[in-house]
Amino acid sequence: MKAIEQSVVQEKINQLANQAVYVHLETTNGAYASHFDEKAYNVGAFIRNAQVTYQHGKIVSTGGSYRVGLKLDLGWVYAEGVTDFEIDDQGRLLLAGHDREGRLMVALEISETPFSHEAELHE
């Protein structure tokens, strides 16, 4: 992954609009958060292979990181704290936010084909 290039990401978001796409959206502070700090809470959410069609989407700079919102017919998909991106060899848009130690804090990925279950791929 590399640092977000806003115009490149925006162009890809536009390309994927108005068609059925698969979304992976995730945020987490890790399974060990309250193990290493008893005052912390474990929080996280993830949804993989949600099929949506968005009318339009936008990536907005917040100075340092980015927010991305996708407008659906009846709702929204939204991620905050995104710092890095990649358009991979399958043409998927992968967006992620990492902390100073390189740990993933948030991910938003959009693909025209379903995301695989990697474990099965490698069997």
Partner 1 sequence: MSNQHVVVVFPHPDDESFGASGTISKFRAEGIPVTYLCGTLGEMGRNMGNPVFANRETLSSFRKKELTEAAKQLDINVELLGYRDKTLEFEPKEEMADYLRQKIDTLQASLVITHYPGYAVHPDHDALGAAVVAAVEKIDEASRPEIWMHAISNQHEDDLGKADISFDIAPYWEQKLAAIQAHLSQADGMMNLIESHDKKNEQTERLKTERFYKWTFS
Binding mask 68-87 for partner 1 (x = CB under 8 A): ----------------x-x-
Sheet holding 76-82, edge to edge: 54-61, 66-72, 76-82
Q: Are 70 and 57 in contact (CB under 8 A)?
A: yes
Q: In a 3-state reduction of DSSP, which class is residue 45?
A: strand
Residue 107 touches partner 1, criterion: CB under 8 A: yes
Choose which of 51, 64, 74, 123 interacts with partner 1 (CB under 8 A): 123
- Terminal Cα-to-Cα distance of the chain (whole angstroms): 26
Which residues would be at the binding site for partner 1 (CB under 8 A)? 1, 24, 26, 28, 30-32, 35-38, 46, 84, 86, 88, 92, 94, 96, 98, 101-105, 107, 109, 115, 117-120, 122-123
